[in-house]
Structure 1
Amino acid sequence: MTMKIPQGALVVVANGGAARVFSNVGDERTLTLKQEALLEGMNLDDDGPAGSMPAESSASQLDEATFAKQLALGLNDGALKNRYAHLVLIADPQTLGRIRPLLHKETTQRLVGDLAKDFTNAPLETIERALS
């Protein structure tokens, strides 16, 4: 996968329960990611998933869908408040599929690219290599 990732771009690596937030401190030619935040253990008790879920969904499936919704809402909030100009989203296919329809138009306009892979626990070098 080859995409130009501008300096300062927000790179979010997520799965159904956690997200690592990076920024590109390199440039378009030399991607260098710096971890800015780790989002996990969000309070899912008073929230639920977006849209409808099958009645037979397990508690963990509901939590994963709720986490995806909260992550999408956070990305939308950041876009609407101009906290980032460019976004790269990496998530396992199911989480990515839950996040995409929830992204605001402002957020999708900032989306440089996305990758359907679970790199949440991958070393930094593996993530950089996948994006280079």
Structure 2
Amino acid sequence: MTMKIPQGALIVVADGGSARVFSNVGTQASLALKQEALLEGMNLDDEGPSGSMPSESSASQLDEATFAKQLAKGLNDGALKNKYEHLVLIADAKTLGRVRPLLHKETQQRLIGDLAKDLTNAPLETIQSTLS
């Protein structure tokens, strides 16, 4: 994946149950990620997934869909409040497929790239080299 990631860009690495949030503290030419937050164990009890889910969905599938909805909501809130200018989203294919349609137009305009890959538990160096 070769893309120019500007300094200050938000990089979100997610799977169906957690997300690591980074910012590029390097330059566009020399990527250097700093972890800003770890989102996991969100309260999924009071919310359900967005859209319709098959009735035979398991509890873990419902939790993953609900997490994707909450992640998209957080990204949308950040975009609408101008908390970031550029966004890169990395997630496993299923999570990425659930998050994409929930992204607000403002969030989509800030999305400079996405990658369907599960790097949530990968070391920082692996994430950086994947983006470089």
Smaller-chain TM-score bracket = over 0.9
The alignment partner of 1:37 has SS state of strand
Corresponding position of 2:84: 84
Q: What's the % identity of the aligned pairs?
A: 83
Q: Which residue of 2 aligns with 1:32?
A: 32
Match of 1:75 in 2: 75
Query: In structure 1, how many angstroms separate the alpha carbons of the residues matched to 2:87 and 2:29?
Result: 17
The aligned counterpart of 1:107 is: 107
Query: What is the one-letter code of the residue matched to 1:90?
Result: I
Q: Given the alignment of the two structures, is residue 15 of structure 1 paired with residue 39 of structure 2, yes or no?
A: no
The alignment's TM-score, normalised by the length of structure 2, stands at: 1.00
User: Following the alignment from structure 2 to structure 1, what is the Cα–Cα distance between the partners of residues 9 and 107?
Assistant: 13
Gaps of at least 5 residues in structure 1 are none
SS in 1 for 2:114: strand
In structure 2, list runs of 5 or more residues that go unmatched: none
After superposing on structure 2, the runs of 4+ consecutive aligned residues of structure 1 that deviate more than 6 Å are: none
Give the superposed CA RMSD.
0.3
Structure 2: how far apart are the matches of 1:82 and 1:2?
A: 26
Matched letter for residue 40 of structure 2: E
**How many positions carry a matched residue from both structures?**
132
